[in-house]
Amino acid sequence: MKLKMPVSVSDIAALIDAEIVGDPTVKVTYLSEIHKVEAGSLMFVDNEKYYAQSIYSAASAIIIDKVVDCPTEKVLLIVDEPFEAYNKLALHYSPFVPVTATISPTAIIGVNTILEPGVVLGNHVTVGDNCLIRANTVLLDNTKVGNNVIIHANSSIGNDAFYMKKQPDASYKRWHSIGRVIIEDNVEIGACCTIDKGVSGDTIIGEGTKIDNSVHIGHGVCIGKHCLMAAQVGIAGKTIIQDHVTIYGQVGISKSLVVGEGATLLAKAGVPKSIPGGNKEYVGIPAGESRSKFREMVALRQLPDLIKKVNEIYAALFKNKKENKT
């Protein structure tokens, strides 16, 4: 999330009661998660597994739970609970503001755009020109919709990220989401779809993409231009779907992956790792290139007959061996 104006590290430290290691006059412009940082970002890390990734990232300042060696230009803010400190900052700079009217007075609606009965536009929502937002659709805070977009009935866009941190007592605490959903021009979204906003960055639906009914898109997902998605597809957080990808019904895609440009995922495919594009088809669980997967399926169907034949051969050999002994 981009802050309204740059904030000094010393001001940040005062808000979260942090010890500063480095230059306190450095200013930060973004609150960022580890996966989406740039120059001017403030991020947090509380797991040694990610210390190196964080320290040598583009981030200008890092909330961390102990002093570590790092480049001289980096600033560390030392606290006991980095997650709690970051969450406090997220709530401070982007507090929860309930929607108190069906159409927020801060919403912006373009010309020739139709809002059917029951549509809710949250705070600072922008909808472009020539859009059709059908009945009972909800566009939550800071969602941005381009021109010539159709969103069918009962879809909910801009929901909080499903992003939890496990607590010492085995309960879970939600990370306060401060990202947005960006829907580009000429997109169509089916009925009963749910699209989560990013934890700190944006969930993006690229220009010309068409999405069927009952599709779920997780936090921070970036979908390219002119993609097609059939019903009941689920895409987990921070995954990138490149341009011109076709996804058939009931495909499940895991988090933080890349699906390459032009790929086709056939129905019910399960995608646990990144796959290349190149206009290839993928099928199965785990998903693999369709030609080799279909050969595997044919071989598996033949397996019972093969086992039967092998057993018959062994039985015949055993019988002959027994007869020879007598």
Q: Can you spell out the DSSP letters for 283-326?
A: ETTTTEEHHHHHHHHHHHHHHHHHHHHHHHHHHHHHHHHHHHH-
Alpha-carbon distance 123 to 96, whole Å?
A: 10
Q: Biggest alpha carbon distance in the chain?
A: 99
Task: Return the pLDDT at 141.
Answer: 96
Tell me if residue 219 is catalytic: yes
pLDDT tens digits, residue range 254-284? 999 999 999 999 999 999 999 998 889 999 8
Detail the DSSP E strand segments found in 2-107: 2-8, 19-21, 27-31, 41-44, 61-64, 75-78
pLDDT tens, position by position, 162-196: 988 888 898 998 889 999 999 999 999 999 999 99
Burial class (CB in 10 A: 0-12, 13-18, 19+), 299: exposed
pLDDT tens digits along 68-87: 988 889 999 999 999 999 99
| The two structure tokens encoding residue 92 | 């401070």
Domains of the chain: residue spans and CATH: 2-93 (3.40.1390.10), 108-288 (2.160.10.10)
Nearest alpha-carbon partner for 189 in 214, 219, 210: 210
User: What is the model's pLDDT at position 321?
Assistant: 66
Q: Are strands 75-78 and 19-21 parallel, antiparallel or unpaired?
A: antiparallel
Annotated active-site residue in 152, 176, 216, 219: 219
Locate 253 and state its tokens. Answer: 């895609």
Q: What is the pLDDT of residue 317?
A: 75
Q: What is the pLDDT of residue 180?
A: 96
